[in-house]
Structure 1
Amino acid sequence: MNLHPIKAGNFKLDGGAMFGVVPKTLWQKTNPADNNNLIDIAARCLLIENGDKLILIDSGMGDKQSEKFFGYYSLWGDDNLDASLKAKGFHRDDITDVFITHLHFDHCGGVVQWNDSRTGYELAFKNAKIWSNKEHWQWAVAPNAREKASFLKENILPIEESGHLNFISRTDATFQKTSELGFGVLFANGHTEKQMLPHIAYKDKTIVFMADLLPTVGHIPLPYVMGYDTRPLLTLDEKKLFLENAATHGWYLFLEHDAHNEIITVQHTEKGVRLKEIFTCNDIFN
């Protein structure tokens, strides 16, 4: 097995929204804001090369939205999915599976693109199965008012219409190994219904793709919960249990949204679980 970080782009989000009730004087120590109170955010995806499978976890925003839409998110830098795949020796047509942690636009927008005539949409990964889970899919296609702006029909419905949509089979268990893709999945419900966090056995390590359970290093303290979460008190419980397990078992946490820190480990301290070490993807994957 080989693992490759794929940089699908960078954007900015409001720091207050990213840290909920935590005062700016505290969160800006780890996530400094610009003059508009915006902090740096990455769309760092993960490519798993395993036998005859080439699995992409999440896909970034994509590029089909309007200039006005992207203007809300202050895109920055030159990273994009195609260039990042090419740098690793791949093309999007090589992808066999796309695993979507959840269907918010910054995680799944890259799965769907305009067709050549810009009269409709098509899959950006024409040879890939697209993986979600039934409970989250149903949640996303009939969104609540709080999340409606994050679940965009043009990102979601074309996947089903393509015939490439697949659901991870699951029991009522919070964590399980997927027979379909060969890695474990933790289901978390605080950010959105049935968000999926892959747990990947890589050499002698467990790599956990953190999605939005732990967006950045600055979110390690338990009260540091995003204002975007639909059930913040549940996030508190889920994050506490996860971080305790991560510290005990020495898991390596792959940060999708931290623009400046790629992989971390955590440790138990008198103040609770805190940061232990920071690694680059090259440190761990090469």
Structure 2
Amino acid sequence: MPILYFAAMKIHKVESGNFKLDGGAMFGVVPKSLWQRTNPADSNNMIDMAARCLLIENGNRLTLIDTGMGAKQSEKFFGYYYMDHRFDLDSSLKNLGFNRDDITDVFLTHLHFDHCGGVIKKASNHDGYEPAFKNARVYTNESHWQWAIEPNAREKASFLKENIIPIQESGQLEFVKQNQTFEKANEMDFDILFVDGHTEKMMIPHIEYDGKTFVFMADLLPTAGHLPLPYVMGYDTRPLLTLDEKERFLQKAATENYYLILEHDPFNEIITVKHTDKGVRLDQVYTFNDFFNN
């Protein structure tokens, strides 16, 4: 029997387009005089945000985690968020030697428009919408899906029907079960932490690579500036629950030396944290090149 050799797993960052959000909304009850030390605001009180997605190359599987806002919304819509189009999914994938049709799996941490908008695009005939990754399965979980298709008034503006319903209509939709490991090719898996403070059943991937645990933080920790426990986004539906979820996660991350991949931090790509007498705080800052040779 011939011996089969598989390429080692590779991890890449995919920049899908920076944008801006209101700094007050991003830090909730925390005064601007405190949060602007790490996240400086412009004259409109807007702070810079990244939309840093993750691409996992593993055997014959190519998994994209989150997709950014996409490009199908109106100019007026993007104007609210000061979109920086120097980065987009297509150019980022091209720089890595891939295109959309190569993607086999799209894993969505949650269905807010800045995380899932790129999974659906305008139809080529300009009539309606179609999948942006035609060969991919698209993963969410059933609890979050139901939450998103019947949104509460607080989150309704974040759950856009044109981003969500076409996933189901395409036949690509798959549900991940809670506490299930997301199985990948060649017996390489990543574990999922489910959290409910930001939105119902947001999924936080934990990826084992080269003896280290890398955690894609989504909106549990949007930027390094959000490390202090009270620094909770005004967008979170259950802020007191976020406090508890953040504390438990950060305690474990500091103890077990997790490497945290920050989806929204334009200045810090990957960080580690440490225990201090003021709580868990920033330890080291890294780039993707420090680990993955991107």
Contact preservation (8 Å) 1:19, 1:27: yes
Contact preservation (8 Å) 1:168, 1:180: no
Aligned twin of 2:109: 101
Q: Given residue 64 of structure 1, which amino acid in structure 2 is its aligned partner? A: K
Q: Given residue 149 of structure 2, which amino acid in structure 1 is its aligned partner? A: V
Contact preservation (8 Å) 1:176, 1:186: no
Contact preservation (8 Å) 2:58, 2:184: no
Aligned twin of 1:124: 132
Partner of residue 228 from structure 2, selected from 221, 228, 231: 221
Q: Which runs of 5 or more structure 2 residues have no equivalent in the other structure? A: 1-8
What is the SS of the residue equivalent to 2:183?
A: coil
What is the SS of the residue equivalent to 1:183?
A: strand
Contact preservation (8 Å) 2:22, 2:45: yes
Residue 169 of structure 1 deviates from its aligned partner by 2.0
The 5 Å alignment of 1:59-208 reads 59-170=67-178, 175-179=179-183, 182-208=189-215
In 2, distance between residues paired with 1:36 and 1:118? 35
Aligned twin of 1:17: 25
Residue 178 of structure 1 deviates from its aligned partner by 2.5
**Residue-pair matches, total:** 282
Aligned twin of 2:3: none
Contact preservation (8 Å) 1:55, 1:98: yes
Q: Given residue 33 of structure 2, which amino acid in structure 1 is its aligned partner? A: T
Contact preservation (8 Å) 1:136, 1:193: yes
Contact preservation (8 Å) 1:254, 1:264: yes
In 1, distance between residues paired with 2:118 and 2:147? 20
What is the SS of the residue equivalent to 1:68?
A: helix
Is residue 31 of structure 1 aligned with residue 31 of structure 2?
Answer: no
In 2, distance between residues paired with 1:272 and 1:235? 16
Residue 52 of structure 1 deviates from its aligned partner by 1.1
In 1, distance between residues paired with 2:173 and 2:142? 10
Partner of residue 242 from structure 1, selected from 249, 274, 288: 249
In 2, distance between residues paired with 1:186 and 1:198? 6
Is residue 283 of structure 1 aligned with residue 283 of structure 2?
Answer: no
Q: Given residue 162 of structure 1, which amino acid in structure 2 is its aligned partner? A: S
In 1, distance between residues paired with 2:20 and 2:85? 11
Q: Which runs of 5 or more structure 1 residues have no equivalent in the other structure? A: none
In 2, distance between residues paired with 1:135 and 1:32? 36
TM-score normalised to the size of structure 2?
A: 0.95
In 2, distance between residues paired with 1:235 and 1:259? 22
RMSD of aligned Cα (Å): 0.9
What is the SS of the residue equivalent to 2:17?
A: strand
Residue 260 of structure 1 deviates from its aligned partner by 1.1
In 2, distance between residues paired with 1:180 and 1:78? 32
Residue 117 of structure 1 deviates from its aligned partner by 1.7
Q: Which runs of 4+ in 1 moved over 2 A?
A: 175-181
In 2, distance between residues paired with 1:93 and 1:50? 16
Residue 177 of structure 1 deviates from its aligned partner by 2.2
In 2, distance between residues paired with 1:35 and 1:129? 42
TM-score normalised to the size of structure 1?
A: 0.97
Is residue 256 of structure 1 aligned with residue 268 of structure 2?
Answer: no
